[in-house]
């Protein structure tokens, strides 16, 4: 089974899964490696949404280092983080990453003007297309202000939550802005994440849509990471078998794992 590089535990405000349960599930699925990548969303509007989305990084390293030892010989545990990107956070994120020895950093856009696209507020008073465009424009702005992460998380995540989800959504409809995002990550040497939560949300495709992954390869992109975004053990490695077919159809021969922030290419 492919390594799952995007996994949440109780260190994330929206998960109550203790770390051991995710590791045990990964062993059961036959993974040789597992990444824990909890949410670190600085300046998340806690007062508005009732969740903080940050964790104490010293406790995180303490716990995960202890588990890394405990599971030695059974599975290799790697310490990652999913950083919530916002243009004004660039300096803070830089300092943060310089302070801790993460193996792997996912850069994700969860907020647009401090609004979570999960809530209808984000779509009010405008078309769905305008809202999606703003999400993509924010990703691009985030990459331009801060690009010291390793892989761009769930590129078209916003389509999970739009009024019509992905019914009217296609790569071609957003080609210009998506191409700019893909060119920016290739230029900055960042990987593109395939996030299978899109399938879990009933979209019929992972994030991003396969047409976007295809375009990334056409433009010369070579680093693909794979993650389920599981918040519960039953979602760990979610739909990875479907992904096997997708990878084959796109002629992708390697997945990328980051160890101590350096890419390793894993033949599939």
* Region from 73-81, 104-112, 130-138, 167-175 binding Zn ion, contact rule CB under 5 A: 104-112
- Measured over the CA atoms of residue 198, residue 158, residue 40 and residue 226, the dihedral's sign is positive
258 near 264, Cβ under 8 Å? yes
For Zn ion, give the closer residue by CB, 63 or 110: 110
For Zn ion, give the closer residue by CB, 105 or 265: 105
For Zn ion, give the closer residue by CB, 5 or 256: 5
CA–CA distance, 246 with 59 (Å, rounded to integer): 38
CA–CA distance, 233 with 28 (Å, rounded to integer): 11
The distance from CA 232 to its chain's CA centroid, rounded to whole angstroms, is 16
Residue 255's alpha-carbon distances to 108, 122, 251, in angstroms, are 19, 34, 12
Does 108 contact Zn ion by CB under 5 A? yes
Q: Binding string, 32-71, against Zn ion, x = CB under 5 A?
A: ----------------------------------------
CA–CA distance, 189 with 148 (Å, rounded to integer): 10
* Region from 13-21, 81-89, 111-119, 256-264 binding Zn ion, contact rule CB under 5 A: 81-89
At its nearest, how many Å lie between Zn ion and the CB of residue 249? 25
List residues binding Zn ion (CB under 5 A).
82, 108, 229
């Amino acid at each position: 089974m492919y390594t799952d590089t995007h996994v949440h535990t109780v260190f994330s405000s929206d998960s109550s899964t203790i770390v051991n349960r995710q590791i045990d599930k990964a062993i059961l699925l036959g993974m040789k490696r597992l990444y824990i990548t909890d949410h670190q969303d600085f300046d998340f509007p806690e007062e508005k949404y009732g969740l903080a989305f940050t964790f104490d990084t010293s406790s995180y390293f303490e716990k995960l280092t202890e588990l890394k030892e405990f599971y030695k010989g059974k599975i290799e545990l790697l310490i990652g983080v999913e950083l919530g990107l916002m243009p004004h956070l660039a300096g803070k994120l830089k300092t943060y990453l310089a302070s801790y020895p993460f193996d792997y950093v996912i850069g994700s856009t969860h907020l647009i003007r401090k609004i979570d696209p999960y809530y209808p507020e984000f779509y009010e008073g405008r078309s769905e297309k305008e809202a999606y465009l703003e999400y993509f424009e924010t990703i691009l702005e985030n990459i331009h202000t801060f690009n010291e992460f390793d892989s761009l998380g769930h590129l078209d995540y916003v389509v999970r939550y739009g009024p019509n989800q992905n019914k009217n959504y296609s790569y071609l409809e957003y080609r210009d802005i998506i191409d700019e995002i893909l060119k920016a990550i290739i230029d900055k040497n960042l990987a593109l994440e395939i996030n299978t939560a899109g399938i879990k949300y009933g979209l019929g495709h992972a994030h991003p849509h396969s047409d976007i992954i295809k375009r990334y390869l056409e433009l010369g992109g070579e680093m693909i990471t794979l993650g389920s975004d599981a918040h519960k053990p039953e979602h760990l490695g979610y739909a990875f078998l479907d992904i096997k077919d997708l990878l084959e159809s796109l002629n992708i021969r390697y997945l990328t794992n980051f160890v101590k922030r350096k890419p390793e290419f894993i033949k599939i």
